[in-house]
Amino acid sequence: MSNYEELFKPKEENQDKINLTKSLEENLKKVKRILKGSDDMVYREFNVGENQNLKFATAYAEGLADKVIVNEYVLKNLMVLARMTEPQVSNIREKVYELIKNGVLSVSDLKEVDDINVITDNILAGETVLLIDKWDKAIIISSKGWPMRGISEPQSDVVIRGPREGFTETLRVNTALIRRRIKDPKFKIKQMKIGSRSKTDVAVLFIDGLVNQDILKIVVDRLKSIEIDGILVSGYIEQLIEDNWRSPFPQIQSTERPEKVAANIYEGKIAIIIDNTPFALIAPTTFNSLLQASEDYNERFLMASAIRTLRYISMFISVLLPALYIAMLSYHPGMIPTELALYIAGNRDGVPFPAVIEAFIMEGSLELLREAGIRLPGPIGSTIGIVGGLVLGQAAVEAGIVSSLMVIVVAITAIATYSVPNYSFGSPFRLLRFAYMMGAAFLGLYGVVLVFLISLIHLTNLKSFGIPYLAPFVYNMSIKDLKDTFIRAPLHKMKRRPEYVAKNDKDRLSNHFNRDYLKKGEDSGGEK
Amino acid sequence: MGKNNDIIASNQLFAILVNIVIGVGILTLPRTLAEKAGPDSLIVLAIGSVLFLVVALVIQKLVTKFPRKTIIEITNSALFKPVGFLVGLGYFIYTFTLVVLEVRVFGEITKNYLLVNTPIEIIIITFLITSIYLVRSGIESIARLSVIILPLSIFPAILAAAVAIPDLDFTYFLPILRTSWSDMMKALPSVFFSFLGFEFIVFIGFFVGDSKHIKKTTIRTVAFVSCVYFIFTAITIARFGIEESKNLIWPVISLFKSVDIPGTLLENVEVVIIATWLLAIFMTIAIAYFGATFLLSRLIKSKEQNYFAIALLPIIYFLALIPENIVEVTDFMNIFTNYMGTTFSIIIPGFMLLISFLRRKPKRGIKKNG
């Protein structure tokens, strides 16, 4: 069977273990010494029992631990309720732990530890520690609870028809969002800590038996090998484990949408969720999957297929259009129909620059506008868009610096770039556009073909966790492989998972399901 | 997921082979056929394709008999050691010369139809640098790229040719079978040579993981290529007639030129078609280039194939610039394919197959006795 458990075994900790002693004071002193200078720590010593002869202490980090839990269910229970219950065991001192654990603390998640380093780690993660005098172990009470952003609509992957939930910054909420969509006991959420100082929780999500074991091994091995002081955002992990760091193309997909992650997990892929980031990573990722929007599967297939095709075309437009414009104007004017050529000549009359310079000026200023628009706060950002787009373009044309046709070309290109559903996938096209423009400027259409070839060669070289980036286009030219590419085949025709990922359980839809059966049922229903 | 970057699927082999075979040859095929066979061009083409299928099956048989082996090792095991080296050297020189010739043809076509004012040196050097990138990427990338390039290069061309259908006059192919048999026989080799490149399977077969399917792939490749040839020859000759086809240097390109797609945004669509066709020629050359470096590294038993690619670049560049003009190139190419092509695609593989059959039988006898 599967050996995923072995994969996730943590590496040997080389941190020294500091054992707890029997003395409460000493233990507390040690904890305080390690956490010295952290003024957000709260320590509370108190006595319990009818005779006040049992000494206890709690420690937690203010702001990270939920104070209600600590006050109501830990302190109150111990200090007030414990007095009401008659101890049934004779020697309280020895059985105090069982008493507290089974009878007093009304908190569901408790852990027993004996290492001071573990204790401090847990305090810093938001848990509460309960130390008991004359006992060399401590109880970790799960009390994580800090002000967090609620689940809100994703900002980047917006859909019209589909769930409105997006990931938040809290790992547990995110995994729950996915668990709600996959209620399979074989769905695994394995956690590890990455970052020697940040100790960021990273969860690896997959369905056992569906996931490709080879890919899982690569992912986990690469995650484990990361030795860094801190992980702040998912981009760190993405860049540290991706196959080719030189490539402009993202080899890991990141998304804010839980249902997209769930869909990918159902395909046999692996999701990585990082604490403090509202983006989940999906590996392996292919070129094709970055052009899929989660709405495609919600729409009827004809519309979805049309939009898919449109998206592929717009991808080509976004990289090729300015380059083709330059190539035709400077090298192959014969290709432009005579009337249009005359119009362009008239339009460009008085423009002092060749088409290349013109294109670079306009594309450059477009990128400038985009950057300015993103960084500025909302209302000002849209002002920049209007001022830049309308006023600047109009003024540039009127001043005769650029031709109005060039403005149209640039505008179409910009619109086409935005139709790429994944934001980080849109950026390589923005970058490549300039390479194509250079190619066109130096060698015309031949230059465009050369740059196209170079980018294709690069893409065929690229792999995402052992899966060719251009899968499924690169295997064989059968229609079967193209069911979820330029078109999105009707759902009942997509009976199998994508073969390049799922190696084990390939059937998605039962083979017995077909539409004819449904139709028969309808007919007889109508007769009644 | 081969870790050594050296295993391709038989489907990818199909794409690679089609990409090698279809390249420069098709551009002149209608002219040579019109010259030699006249109205019976299509019949000669059909017969030639069937005959080539037989040859292809012979080569394929040899490759399937020795899975995961190149021609060098095949020869070594069939004959004795130094012969393998010599045969391998022969194949190396053959593929290398092909690269040089095709690079020059490529440069000429690009210069003629796309970049009239750019010096051919620039075209060739940029082209070679791009192909080095692919050669250094290894066979798996080449295989994947072939699968992608194949539809990208062939479909636009077929579409553009299909636009010419209303203008076609198939009476040019009448009367049939009036050409004398001897003339038809003389035309057959040119059909044959338009399939050249297929013999690269003797060392590309080395990379195929599922060698059981090579036979099917061979048949598919020859069938597909002959279909494409048939379509283009039929449309070109039916468009221009026998006499005009004889006088065109690149009849197929002229066909694209004559095409006027109604209501399009662009005039002179042939520029676009040539641009996409460049992808097909690129693949032909890049695969041959890869073959040359691969054979070289096998010959001197070195693993540094990537460095050979760079070392060969200046040699290819200077050799490609030696011919004065395109006529010299095509003349040399004709002679070259006549002799070298026959040797390396028919004689050597056939001979090897024969020998391997002869040598295996006594071995079996010994086993039975023992």
| Overall average pLDDT of the B320-327 stretch | 86
pLDDT of residue B365: 45
pLDDT for the residue numbered A177: 94
* Yes or no, beta carbons of B147 and A448 under 8 Å apart: no
- Rounded to 5 degrees, φ, ψ at A432 are -65, -30
pLDDT digits (tens, 9 = 90+) for B182-210: 888 888 888 888 888 888 888 888 888 87
Considering only the C-alpha atoms of chain B, give the largest distance between any 2 of them, rounded to a whole number of Å. 78
pLDDT of B347 > 80? The answer is yes
Q: What is the pLDDT of residues A133-143, one digit of tens each?
A: 877 888 898 88
Chain A interface includes B148 (CB < 8 A): yes
Residue B144 has its nearest CB partner, among A334, A444, A474, at A474
Q: What one-letter code names the amino acid at B266? A: L
d(CA A255, CA B291): 43
* Residues of chain A found within 8 Å of residue B266, distances taken between Cβ atoms: 335-337
Structure-block tokens of residue B243: 């006499």
Q: Two tokens at A148?
A: 């967090």
Indicate if the pLDDT at residue B286 is higher than 50.
Answer: yes
**Contact across the interface for B114 and A337, Cβ inside 8 Å:** no
pLDDT at A476: 64
Chain B neighbors of A444, CB-CB under 8 A = 114-115, 118
Residue A84 pLDDT? 65
pLDDT at B348 > cutoff 90: no
**Looking at the DSSP assignment, which residues form a beta bridge with residue A207?**
A187
Look at residue B332 and tell me whether its pLDDT is greater than 90. Answer: no
pLDDT at A260: 92
pLDDT over threshold 70, residue B367 = no
Distance CA B145, CA A223 (A): 31
Of residues B249 and A92, the one with the higher pLDDT is: B249
Assess contact for A216 and A190: CB atoms under 8 A. no
CB B235 within 8 A of CB B158: no
- Nearest-CA distance B271 → chain A (Å): 8
Annotated domain spans of chain B? 10-344
Chain A neighbours among B 201-240 (CB < 8 Å)? Answer: none
Å between B2 CA and nearest CA of chain A:
9
- Residue with structure tokens 């990208």? B152
Both tokens assigned to A216: 């899982």
Residue B224 binned pLDDT confidence (cut-offs 50, 70, 90) = very high
Check the CA dihedral A323-A329-A331-A332 and report its sign.
positive
pLDDT given at position B369: 43
What is the spatial distance between Cα A349 and Cα A47, in angstroms, rounded to a whole number?
A: 92
Nearest CA to A240 out of A214, A202, A213, A276 is that of A202
Do residues B293 and B311 touch, judged by C-beta distance below 8 A? no
Minimal CA–CA distance to A392: which of A422, A370, A423? A370
CA B281 to each of CA B112, B246, B260, B274, B322: distance values in angstroms, whole numbers, following the listed order: 15, 23, 24, 10, 20
Which pLDDT does position B1 carry in this prediction? 37
State whether residue B118 sits within 8 Å of chain A by CB: yes
Given a cut of 60, whether residue B89 has pLDDT beyond it is yes
The Cβ-side half-sphere exposure at B249, using a 13 Å CA radius, reads: 11
User: How far apart are the C-alpha atoms of A230 and A366, rounded to whole Å?
Assistant: 35
**pLDDT of B90-102, one tens digit each?**
999 999 998 999 8
Chain A residues with CB-CB distance to B276 below 8 A: 449
Chain B residues with CB under 8 Å of A500 CB are: none
pLDDT at site A519: 63
pLDDT band at residue B133 under the 50/70/90 scheme = very high
* Residue among A489, A486, A484, A490 at smallest CA distance from A502: A484
**Å from B191 to nearest chain A CA?**
27
φ/ψ of residue A198, rounded to 5: -75, -25
Nearest-by-Cβ selection for A457 from B9, B15, B145:
B145
What pLDDT does A112 receive?
85
Q: Cβ–Cβ of B268/A334 closer than 8 Å?
A: yes
Q: Contact B137/A335, CB-based, under 8 Å?
A: no
B137 touches chain A (CB under 8 A): yes
* Residue B174 touches chain A, beta carbons under 8 Å: no
Closest chain A C-alpha to B3 CA, distance in angstroms: 9
For chain A, the farthest-separated pair of C-alpha atoms sits apart, in whole angstroms, at: 106
Q: At what angle do helices B25-37 and B181-194 cross, to 10 degrees?
A: 180
Give me the residues of chain A with pLDDT under 50, please.
Answer: 1, 526-528
Chain A residues bordering chain B (beta-carbon distance below 8 Å): 214, 331-332, 334-338, 340, 443-450, 452-454, 456-457, 460-461, 466, 468, 470, 473-477
Is B155 an 8 Å CB contact of chain A?
A: no
**CATH homologous superfamily for the domain B10-344:** Amino acid/polyamine transporter I (1.20.1740.10)
Contacts of B282 in chain A (CB under 8 A): 453
CA distances from A502 to A207, A208, A212, A261 (A): 11, 11, 6, 16
> What's the pLDDT score for residue A2?
53
Edge-to-edge order in the sheet of strand A200-207 = A187-194, A200-207, A270-274, A280-283, A253-255
In B, residues 38-97, which contact A (CB 8 Å cutoff)? none
Identity of the amino acid at B264: T
- Show residues of chain A in contact with B151, CB under 8 Å: 477
pLDDT in the model for residue A223: 92
Which is nearest to A203 in space by CA: A223, A227, A222, A182? A223
* Backbone region of residue B238 per phi and psi (left: phi > 0; alpha: psi in -120 to 50; beta: other values): alpha
Contact A222, A242 (CB under 8 A): no
In A, which residues are within 8 Å of B275 by CB distance?
Answer: 445-446, 448-449
- Suggest the residue from A215, A453, A454, A482 to mutate for an interface test with chain B (most B CBs closer than 10 A): A453
DSSP letter at B108?
Answer: H
- Give the pLDDT of residue A1: 44
**pLDDT (average), residues B6-26:** 87
Give A319-375 as a DSSP string: HHHHHHHHHHHHT-GGGS-HHHHHHHHHHTTT--S-HHHHHHHHHHHHHHHHHHHHH
Would you call B1 and A466 a contact, using CB atoms and an 8 Å cutoff? yes
The Cα of B334 is separated from the nearest Cα of chain A by a number of Å equal to 27
Give the per-residue pLDDT at A517. Answer: 64
Residue A443 to residue B268, Cβ atoms within 8 A: no
pLDDT digits (tens, 9 = 90+) for B290-314: 999 999 988 888 777 788 888 899 9
Among A332, A336, A461, select the one facing B141 at the smallest CB separation: A461
For residue A331, the chain B residues in CB contact (below 8 A) are 114-115
Q: Whose CA is closest to B348, among B135, B42, B91?
A: B91
- Beta-carbon contacts below 8 Å between A and B: 98
Q: How confident is the model at residue B364 (pLDDT cuts 50, 70, 90)?
A: very low
Query: What is the spatial distance between Cα B230 and Cα A429, in angstroms, rounded to a whole number?
Result: 39
Contacting residues of A for B127, CB less than 8 Å apart:
450
CB atoms within 10 A of CB B153: 23
Suggest the residue from A321, A474, A477, A482 to mutate for an interface test with chain B (most B CBs closer than 10 A): A474
Contact map slice: B 273-302 vs A, CB within 8 A: 275-276, 278-279, 282
Spatial strand order of the sheet with A41-48 comes to A41-48, A54-61, A128-132, A138-141, A110-113
SS3 sequence of A64-132: CECHHHHHHHHHHHHHHHHHHCCCCCCCHHHHHHHHHHHHHCCCCCEEEECEHHHHHHHHHCCCEEEEE
The answer to whether the CB atoms of A461 and B137 lie below 8 A apart is: yes
Residue B128 has pLDDT above 90, yes or no: yes
Whether B109 has its CB under 8 Å from any CB of chain A: the answer is: no
Residue from B110, B132, B136, B145 whose CB has the most chain A CBs within 10 Å, to mutate: B145
Lookup: tokens for B252: 């197929």
First to last CA, chain B: 42
One-letter amino acid for residue A209 of the chain: G
